[in-house]
Structure 1
Amino acid sequence: MLVTGFPAGMFQTNCYILAHDDASDCVVVDPGQDAAEPLAQFLDQQGLTPRAVLLTHGHLDHTWSVAPVCERYGIPAYIHPDDRYMLSDPGRGMGPGMKQIVGDAVFREPAEVIELADGDEVTVAGIDFVVDHTPGHTQGSVVLRTEITTGDGPLQIALTGDTLFQGSIGRSDLPGGDHDQLLASIAAKLLVLGDDTAILPGHGGTSTIGHERAGNPFLVGLSASR
């Protein structure tokens, strides 16, 4: 399976593209600021057509380009209902500094929005995703899990958005954020996963659950819980 991405815009938000090998359909995750054109160029070069945009949460640095991407390809966007309001009113999820960056820009929902719920199993472009609701960074944050086949066997991948990073966790000081809730979400939804589970975060480099369990300073003393 193709799993790739690129950091977009001033926020360097990771926009991901997933597709089965030799397939023409793909899934786009979190197209942020200035992501639309490099995304289109990559898809054209690879002969890929997106079938949906999946959003890990509603913050503008992850959703900036969702409406134009969905409009260009005539595809839906998936988001948890607790963050849906930010698609058309992103200022409600940002601090004062971020609002100044946006200025007079106008945002809107894509024509088709499909709401995600905890435990949903979503199949797009032939790829099966499991949705884990992980509130704390925002109230509608989700982790999207899927499995790929490697030379060493199956490998689980978790697209963690801004819930868990390499060596860090998401901020919780913006509207809808809650630090204790974020840690509880990580304990309940991520630390229960196998150590070899790869994490693809919303910013920065990739990691594994085992690496973060052992070395992430924000997870010291935090145990898996259900």
Structure 2
Amino acid sequence: MLIAGFPAGSFQTNCYVVAPAAGEECVIVDPGQNAVGDLDDVLREHRLKPVAVLVTHGHIDHMWSVAPVCGARGVPAWIHPEDRELLSDPGKGLSTATRQQMFGGLTFTEPDDVRELVDGEVLRLAGMDLTVDHTPGHTRGSVTFRLPSTEEIPDVMFSGDLLFAGSIGRTDLPGGDYPTILRSLAVKCLPLPEDTVVLPGHGPQTTIGHERATNPYMAEAEAASSAGSGSLRHGRGPTRGL
């Protein structure tokens, strides 16, 4: 398995390239701002041919370069239908102040080929099986992608802005909801094996086991899940990510 990642643009959003091995087909996860140059370097270095772009959610720091990458390579973009409108109008996912500050004449369009993700489906791409989990809370259409373990590596989860090392995604932007993100953590993250490698949208990699032991939001999600959904409190939560 080959997984290469780099932080893209001023948001330092992690873009990942995933392939069974060098010289084979690959998928690209979350090509953000100014990702094209570094992405081309990775593809050239490892002799990879992209077959799809996967988007964990529609915030601009994760989808900025989706259309140009898809257009240049002739590949489809996969995104959850709840966030699809953000591909052409990412301002809908931002606060009014941020939207006014950021979009000075910028326009965005959907790629020619957009395909919608379904919770629980397994995408067979580039010779790999990637399980899609719908994980709303940061946005309504947030998803994670999971690769099963092999003899060489444990399970891997591309968590987008659901789960970070020591934190979780912010919930104070349009489409965000704190009780919902805690529920996504409880349902989609807590049951995973402890050695599952988490490759987040921002910051360093971690594991499910480490986050269960140290991340206060995972602890809150576990406690709320055990007590029943009625104990999920309302609040802004952290402000990590865009």
TM-score of the aligned structures, taking structure 2 as reference length = 0.89
Higher strand fraction: Structure 1 or Structure 2? 1
**211-220 or 178-187, larger mean C-alpha shift:** 211-220
Task: Give the conservation status (yes or no) of the 8 Å contact 2:4–2:42.
Answer: no
Overall identity of the aligned pairs, in %: 54
Alignment of 1:212 onto 2:232:
no
Q: Verify the 8 A CA contact 2:20 2:128 in the aligned structure 1.
A: yes
1:131-188 deviations in whole A, cap 9, x for unaligned? 100000000000100124354xx51001000000000000000000000000001100
The aligned residue for residue 119 of structure 1 is: 120
Spell out the pairing of 1:50-199 with structure 2 (5 A cutoff).
50-99=50-99, 100-151=101-152, 154-199=153-198
Give structure 2 stretches of 5+ with no counterpart.
Answer: 227-242
For the 8 Å contact 2:22–2:48, the answer to whether it is kept is no
SS of aligned partner of 1:172 = coil
* CA deviations over 1:17-66 (Å, ceiling 9, x no partner): 00112442111000000001110122112211110000000000000000
- What secondary structure does 1:118 align onto? coil
Contact 2:2 2:21 (C-alpha < 8 Å) held by counterparts? yes
Q: Distance in 1 between matches of 2:140 and 2:178?
A: 11
Whole-Å separation in 1 of the counterparts to 2:79 and 2:169: 18
Are residue 44 (structure 1) and residue 12 (structure 2) matched? no
Instruction: Count how many residue pairs are aligned between Structure 1 and Structure 2.
Output: 224
> Match for 2:179: what amino acid?
D
- Structure 1: gaps (5+ residues): none
* Cα separation, 2, equivalents of 1:176 and 1:24: 37
8 A Cα contact 2:57 2:79, kept in partner:
yes
The residue aligned with 2:202 is: 203
CA RMSD of aligned residues (A): 1.5
Moved more, 115-124 or 36-45: 36-45
C-alpha displacement of 1:103: 1.6
Give the deviation of 1:97 after TM superposition: 4.0
SS in 2 for 1:223: helix
Give the partner amino acid of 1:175. P
